[in-house]
Chains A and B, each alone.
Chain A
């Protein structure tokens, strides 16, 4: 099975800060990676698909990049409503989620 390792597991940043989360796959997955946001008590929501494509309706401050085994998710300017847990997910072989990164505001 493909393992997905996210880091950090949590972070605290100020409103307006640039936030970066990384996701590493245990083997080459090409660009077969999605990113989701989950707010407490809610189902996850798709933000980025195929590593770098922004889902319709998602603010442009969210972005993704990477390929093969190393991926990055960025919030260019953190907003209060971005407080959530973020997950990467591979679909190259079956499906696997990363462990999640909890983003908090300082």
Chain B
């Protein structure tokens, strides 16, 4: 079945960087954009950006430009999100999400919790 499996929880200090991975299976990796969406505790969903696995093209939300980088490795059907200069309000669950041909986010990873604390 179609599945996105993310890396485990991370504990980081303010100012550090975090990289989260997302491994896809059950479909052709290059057929669909992958998005990253985050959710701070008790808060709404926030779109971070997307990567086109076909060519590595990316688009980031204004709030994250200059601080986030999304990459992919097609040989292992995996995508990565690096967020730098972490602040306390970056503490959240980060989801990788597949977007299908209908522009719908139809498959979600299990989420990766990032804790930012000194």
Residues of B contacting A36 with CB < 8 Å?
A: 45, 105
Number of B interface residues, CB 8 Å? 20
Residues of A contacting B106 with CB < 8 Å?
A: 46, 55
Query: A43-B108, A95-B35 are known contacts. Are A49 and B102 too (CB-CB below 8 A)?
Result: yes
* Cβ-defined contact, B44 with A97, below 8 A: yes
Residue among B46, B47, B62, B110 making CB contact with A43, cutoff 8 Å: B110
* Cβ-defined contact, A43 with B109, below 8 A: yes
Residue among B62, B105, B109 making CB contact with A89, cutoff 8 Å: B105
Residues of B contacting A38 with CB < 8 Å?
A: 45
Residues of A contacting B53 with CB < 8 Å?
A: none
User: Which residue of chain A has its CB nearest to the CB of B109?
Assistant: A43
A32–B109 CA distance with the chains assembled, in angstroms: 23
A91–B33 CA distance with the chains assembled, in angstroms: 13
Q: 13 A-B Cβ contacts within 8 A?
A: A34-B103, A34-B105, A46-B104, A50-B102, A53-B102, A87-B44, A87-B45, A89-B45, A89-B47, A89-B105, A95-B61, A97-B46, A100-B44
| Apart from the given pairs A38-B45, A89-B105, A98-B44, 9 other A-B contacts in the complex at a CB distance below 8 Å | A1-B61, A1-B62, A34-B104, A43-B108, A43-B110, A43-B111, A49-B103, A87-B44, A95-B50
Q: Which B residues form the contact surface with A (CB < 8 A)?
A: 35, 37, 44-47, 50, 59, 61-62, 95, 102-106, 108-111
Q: Which A residues form the contact surface with B (CB < 8 A)?
A: 1, 32, 34, 36, 38, 43-46, 49-50, 53, 55, 87, 89, 91, 94-100
